[in-house]
Amino acid sequence: MSNVKYTDDHEWIKIEDDTAWIGITTYARHALGDLVFLELPEVGRQLNKGEDFAVVESVKAASEIYTPVTGEIVAVNDNLADNLDDLKEDLDKGWIVKVKVSNPEDLEGLMDKSSYDAFVEGLD
């Protein structure tokens, strides 16, 4: 069973113990086009499920990134600021934040890979 889930806002979330790694999906990355800037949050910031925590800007638009879980940001991937190409569905390099999850029930209702793929196919 995979520990990676997806949201209908095109974020992925990888769960390791009580920590969630959060990034944007390949679908979101392609929809945005060429990325030019990523505004990152501060470590220690408290997040509520559904709250935006970062902004990614492309030549097409600016788009908020939302957290699928409630918790505290315990790490920020500062490497992304200079390497926007890593901001893809690469779970090792493309994560934006790590959040210590305070409400595990927030994970209920997130999609697995096959459900997300079906969801994306329905968007075309």
Please tell me the pTM assigned to this model. Answer: 0.92
Which residue is it, tokens 């940001």? 73
Give the pLDDT of residue 92: 83
Give the pLDDT of residue 63: 92
Which residue is it, tokens 């690469």? 90
Q: Give the span between the Cα atoms of 119 and 33, in whole angstroms.
A: 20
In this prediction, the residues of the chain whose per-residue pLDDT falls under 50 are 1
Provide the residue range defining the domain that includes 51: 4-104+111-121
| Residue 68, token pair as written in the block | 């699928």
CA distances to 10, 17, 48, 50, 97 from 88, rounded to whole Å, are 11, 23, 24, 21, 13
Give the pLDDT of residue 110: 95
Strand pairing partners for 67? none
* Beta carbons within 8 Å of 108's beta carbon, 6+ residues apart: none
Domain count of the chain? 1
Give the pLDDT of residue 2: 62
In this structure, the number of other CB atoms found within 10 A of the CB of residue 32 comes to: 20
CATH code: domain of residue 42: 2.40.50.100
Q: What is the pLDDT of residues 72-106, one digit of tens each?
A: 999 999 999 888 888 875 778 899 999 999 999 99
